[in-house]
Amino acid sequence: MKIYLDGKFVDEADAKISVFDHGLLYGDGIFEGIRLYEGNIFRLDQHLKRLANSAKAIMLDLPCPPEEIGEIICETCRQNGLTDGYIRLVITRGVGDLGLSPWSCANPSMFVIASKISLYPQEHYDNGLAIVTLPTRRINPAALPPTVKSLNYLNNILGKIEAKQAGALEGIMLNDQGYVAECTADNIFIVQDGEILTPSSSQGALKGITRGTIFDIADELNMPIREVNMTRYDVWCADECFLTGSGAKVIPVSKLDGRVIGSGKPGPATQQILASFRRRVTAEGRKI
């Protein structure tokens, strides 16, 4: 496997960063998880825009313009002979002194990995995923805005550990008010009485690229959609539920906390959304 690292492509074994990199020492950096479908990088421009916004929010200078980063991503896919896969773009603050101060880091560091990913077995896409509510609460947006896709994922990892301990592959994280924020790695949607509902970013949800696609699909299908304050009760009693993410794509949910959601199978609205999503992923974005 070839990895792009700070201006050159290197073998996987040679893709190394310094132990003094502030991304490693303090989680000071940003990233994007991006999908490649049949040679098409899905919504690459939206990913690059979010990357630039995350960088601006934490006052991190991009090592090169977004347009150039886009071409680097395409070339990384070509170097690895990929037509379908998952791309991880990471920009760290770079090498600096010990201590929190970002001003000691002279140059940011960037690397791009293009490989494969499989978060959930196919059976769960066909029949739905059983998830649980997690004890760990999502970080308050006033403490760390979820709109910044940063390297600080320990909050999510604690939730992932709790999901595994409960025998689930994924779980819902509530915010400090008790409203549903998102899952450990996915955004969440429910369908109730023909309307699609999802938590807002002000409640702790990441503004996911796949999440944004659902809003476009809802418009295409003439399905009403809106952001709401959502409780576990709302999910328990929903007609349908599904999760979205660049890694997960769109996956139905059949149970929450042992309660069957709807019929316990992917519902008609979810199936319509899935069909539209599958059409879009090879058409919207940039061909490598």
E runs forming strands in 116-260 = 129-133, 171-174, 180-183, 187-192, 195-199, 225-228, 240-245, 249-256, 259-260
Rg (CA), the chain: 19
Q: CA-based angle 183:281:84, to the nearest 5? A: 90
List the structure tokens of 174.
């509530």
- Report whether 120 contacts 148 (CB < 8 A): no
Q: Given the structure tokens 């792009």, which residue do they identify?
A: 4
Q: Is residue 149 annotated as a catalytic residue, yes or no?
A: yes
List the catalytic residue out of 49, 56, 116, 149.
Answer: 149
CA distances from 17 to 20, 55, 108, 158 (A): 8, 20, 11, 25
For 123-158, give one letter per residue: b (16+ CB within 10 A) or e. Answer: ebbeebbbbbbbebbbbebeeebbbbbbbeeebbeb
The tokens describing 41, both together, are 């990088």
Cα 144 to Cα 38: distance, rounded to the nearest angstrom? 35
| 225 DSSP β-pair partners | 196
**Alpha-carbon span 34 to 20, nearest angstrom:** 27
Which DSSP helix (H) or strand (E) runs through 34?
strand 29-37
**Catalytic residue numbers?**
149
